[in-house]
Chain A
Amino acid sequence: MSTLEQLEARLARVCGSVEVARLRTDVEPLPMVAPRSVEETCELVRLAAVDKLRVVPIGRGSKLGWCSTPGHVDFALSTRNLQRIVSHVPDDGTITVEAGVGMDELSARCRAGGHFLTPDVPLAARRSIGGVVAAGESGADRLRFGPVRHHVLGTRTVLANGLATRSGGQLVKNVTGFDLHRLYCGSHGTLGVIVEVSLRLFPEPEHELRVTTRASELADALSLARRALALPARIVSLSIERTGDGFELAARLFGLRDVVEAEQAALLALWPRANTQSGAAARASSEAASARQRLALSAHPALRIACLPLRLDVVAPLVQRALADARVAGAFSLQPGIAELDVELAAGLSEASALAAFLRSLRATLARHGASLALRNAPRTALVELDPFGDPASGLDLMRSIQRCLDPEGVFATGRFHGGL
């Protein structure tokens, strides 16, 4: 038997079967195991620790390309078979589930209990809650609810020593112990495998509307957006997307019927020739029509640019110009309330070195406005020249030392994240 076959046989003894995973189209396939319980997860991590194997935790594997390709990895550990709803207490507004539960199933479950689940991510069926939390991915609804890390009440995480450890809890308010769950949120599986997540839930809206309008220039769209954001309304999300002949603005409103209708009236007074959709139609088109969804599906390289909210009014036109100068085409979508700009590089800049040069120069310009730029789905060749996450953050030494303290032997694959974490 080859070493690989031996490894597969040992993994299969723990969890039944071994599949093959391709983390990215441009790297070698890997053995992948999907433990059926937390205990099996612990056992697999212990096996890796003893045999000095390197593991990469994955969820449903929908967006691994958005993180750097790890260096050497022996096997991937997927949470897709961790599917239990551990506890759901609708009247306390909390739910605890295993990490492999899909976002679609989870939000349906919450809706049945009268709650809304944030983050509301596109393509929910393809994502696991563990993957969303591990990627620290917030939805566009962050404008109203804040980032996902604020709603994670606690986690259970299998660490490099093979122990399933808890942090936080299941209650909406709790300061017992250090908030290690805040550390695991957004750590991209570099510190451990998240196996369980507890979340705070929000009331399911009684009424939902989507109000849209158009502007021919980006500057006009931004100014319409700013006026909407200045309303005393709790807008759920607000986006500007480039279309064939200009820009479309869309605001999502939801909550108590009277409140939503009052907010709609205020918005219609500001936005010329606006259209409104309501109920299920509003929900469906908020999702389906969004460039965020197209971006989530796209395999092209993409940029996520983030800054302080008002700076976006300067940063977005600047990026638009740079893209035009470089003759780059693709989706262009911004969230003015939360100052995120997503750009797809669908055509143009096909040479890795041209891409790297473009990004270096754009990054330098953006830095002057306090904006950051991350590259997703980066071609492997471009990664040689450039860190997809940009300059290492301050505190990088401390982050490395946290990594060493939790995983001294390097069981979990690193080199995937800011500054090579």
Chain B
Amino acid sequence: MRRELIDELLAVLGPAGVIHEPARLLAYECDGLALLRQRPAVVLLPRSTEECARAMRILHRERLPVVGRGAGTGLSGGATPVEGCALVGFARMRDVLEVNAAERYARVQAGVVNIDLTLAAEKHGLFYAPDPSSQAACTIGGNVGENSGGPHCFKHGATTRHILGLVIVRDDGSILDLSLPSADPLGYDLVGLFVGSEGMFGLATEITVRLVPVPQVTETLLAIFTDLDSACDAVSDAIAARLEPSALEILDRLTIQAVEASVFAAGYPKQADAVLLVEAEGSEVEVEATLAPLRAIAHKRGAIDIRRARSAAERKQLWAGRKGAFGAMGRIAPDLYVADVVVPRTKLRELVAAATRIANDKQVKLANVFHAGDGNLHPNISYDRRDADEVRRVLEASDEIVRCVVAAGGSLSGEHGIGLEKQEFMSLVFSDGDLRAMCDVRRAWDPDGRLNPGKLIPVHVCREMRGTERPR
């Protein structure tokens, strides 16, 4: 990058706000999808909306591509830099600006870490419901970018249902203030449209989120199964019985073993083939009325034991195992390919079994840990990226799993997004006409196609987007 340009950016952002030394840029080469890497030209770390806007004006003048980055925990390559881009990170925008307990909302800067928002709200008897397993690291801005989910989104809904307002810095550095809280959008629902736009519409700098009251009672159960099929059937039955717990999560044998061997050990029985983690919340009556039929379903489906967390500490431990599961997989192999697809909840058993069959065919190690209540599967594959043949088989297996799920009426992603990972699969679910409409709307936000170019839309559809060089 030209020295004068760096100096100009330094004048706006200060020395801590501009990273341009090649060695330091290495840390920003990839997000959680470590298979794809590209070094950015520069990393910018603004401290405020105003600073971000001023920097974006310079980048606009220079016609540089821009990629937004929260914590870089995304798993679909959303924050993977594109060649020659400025990566705009939110690591220095970590302030909780306001918690309005009476009206139940909070305003935060985009770089606030998910768990920090929950902790800030907890003091007021409230919480922020979307709880990705990565919540100790991921940012609210990144959650907005991907429309992230989490175990408790089964009851409370994904990020989009919790975003009340946004301040957005546009491609040209102008500031769009959509933060005025109102029950319904005035005009088109720009906020709803923005959530899940994967950094391709603008950069969210401030976010107003809805908070919900901490429930009176929370109960957590662990149902233990001797086969994965039965655990899946129990969840399908629970959905068919119209039950409304707050979370329904399944972990399979390989995941349980990895968790139990790690620091996240939660006391899951190592010999079980699957565990079903169930949580219900509400009044005492409500929790009991929800859990009693669930217990009956689990027994009917052959659960050999149903344990109940007797204290907050036990509950926390059960969840630590679930939330640490991806990390714990590091014990099985150095790398993990986290897949993310959604299936109709009537077909859980069938499609989990299909994924297992595909993995066996390709001789790769598959471990399942997933948001079963929402039909959101994570058939994760452990591998070693130094083994080129294994990498090939991993990609073939995940490709086949996606195709099989789509053929059965499923979708490409439930929460991790499309990014670079699934871009070329988009044509499996959308026609060129559908995708062109998406391009048209993107053009209204970002006429030059400079924001996170070359992501989400398959290359053949959106040729008008510039800078679409895919990182190798």
Contact = CB atoms under 8 A, between A and B. Distances in A.
A215 B209 CA distance: 35
A177 B282 contact: no
A128 interface: no
Complex A-B, nearest 7 residue pairs according to Cβ-Cβ distance, in ascending order: A393-B186, A182-B192, A203-B242, A418-B187, A163-B433, A91-B240, A173-B374
Contacts of B11: none
Contact of A173 (B149, B184, B200): B149
Interface residues of B, number: 85
Contacts of A147: 183-184
B417 A175 contact: yes
Interface in A193-209: 203-204
Contact of B181 (A90, A165, A180, A308): A308
B441 A183 contact: yes
A119 B126 CA distance: 26
B160 interface: yes
B190 A395 contact: yes
Contact of A398 (B149, B176, B242, B289): B176
A170 B409 contact: yes
B379 interface: no
Contact of B176 (A169, A308, A338, A395): A395
Contact of A171 (B103, B176, B215, B342): B342
Given A147-B184, A175-B146, A306-B184, A182 B441 contact: no
Contacts of A258: 285, 288-289
B371 interface: yes
Could you say which interface size class chain A belongs to?
A: 35 or more
B241 to A, nearest CB: 9
A150 B442 contact: no
Nearest to A396: B187
Interface in B413-458: 413-418, 422, 426, 429-431, 433-438, 440-445, 456
B344 interface: yes
B444 A421 contact: no
A186 B149 contact: no
Contacts of B376: 173
B442 A421 contact: no
A417 B187 CA distance: 7
Given A259-B283, A389-B186, A399-B187, A180 B418 contact: no
Given A173-B149, A173-B153, A421 B182 contact: no
B239 interface: yes
21 contacts: A89-B344, A90-B240, A91-B239, A92-B375, A165-B434, A166-B431, A171-B342, A173-B376, A174-B413, A175-B158, A177-B418, A178-B442, A256-B286, A308-B181, A339-B183, A370-B181, A393-B185, A394-B177, A394-B178, A395-B190, A396-B187
A177 B456 contact: yes
Contacts of A27: none
Residue from A150, A180, A398 having most chain B Cβ neighbours under 10 A: A398
Nearest to A391: B186
B340 to A, nearest CB: 9
Contacts of A317: none
A404 B289 CA distance: 52
Interface in B82-126: 102-104
B414 A183 contact: no
A32 interface: no
B413 A175 contact: yes
Interface string A308-344: 1110000000000000000000000000001110000
A221 to B, nearest CB: 20
Given A232-B216, A258-B289, A169 B411 contact: yes
A176 interface: yes
A187 interface: yes
Interface string B348-363: 0000000000000000
B183 A169 contact: no
B205 interface: no
A169 B415 contact: no
Interface string B333-349: 00000000011111000
Interface in A92-147: 92-94, 114-115, 136, 138, 146-147
A187 B185 CA distance: 10
Given A395-B178, A398-B176, A166 B430 contact: yes
A82 B376 CA distance: 32
Given A91-B240, A177-B426, A178-B441, A306 B189 contact: no
Contacts of A309: 103-104
Interface string B307-346: 0000000000000000000000000000000000011111
Given A115-B242, A173-B414, A183-B188, A178 B346 contact: no
A177 B76 CA distance: 13
A150 B187 contact: no
B454 to A, nearest CB: 15
Contact of B437 (A174, A180, A256): A180
Residue from A161, A182, A183, A389 having most chain B Cβ neighbours under 10 A: A182
A234 B418 contact: no
A259 B280 CA distance: 14
B412 A149 contact: no
B434 A169 contact: no
B161 interface: yes
Given A172-B374, A174-B411, A187 B188 contact: yes
Interface in B255-308: 282-283, 285-286, 288-290
A380 B241 CA distance: 52
Given A94-B344, A173-B414, A306-B184, 20 more contacts: A89-B346, A91-B236, A92-B344, A146-B161, A165-B433, A166-B434, A171-B343, A171-B414, A173-B153, A174-B413, A175-B146, A178-B197, A182-B193, A204-B242, A232-B216, A309-B104, A338-B183, A394-B178, A402-B444, A404-B444
A392 interface: yes
Contact of A114 (B192, B195, B242, B282): B242
A347 interface: no
A159 B429 contact: no
B380 interface: no
Given A147-B183, A180-B437, A169 B193 contact: no
B301 to A, nearest CB: 15
Given A173-B414, A398-B444, A421-B187, A262 B285 contact: yes
A308 B103 contact: yes
A229 to B, nearest CB: 11
A253 to B, nearest CB: 12
Contacts of B188: 183, 186-187, 395, 399, 402, 421
Given A92-B239, A173-B376, A340 B183 contact: yes
Given A91-B239, A340-B183, A406 B426 contact: no
A325 B182 CA distance: 28
Interface string B156-167: 011011000000
A150 B418 contact: no
B182 A372 contact: yes
B15 interface: no
B415 A173 contact: yes
Contacts of A203: 242-244
A167 interface: yes
Interface in B385-413: 409-413
B25 to A, nearest CB: 29
Contacts of A167: 434, 437-438
Interface string A201-223: 00110000000000000000000
B161 A405 contact: no
Nearest to B344: A92
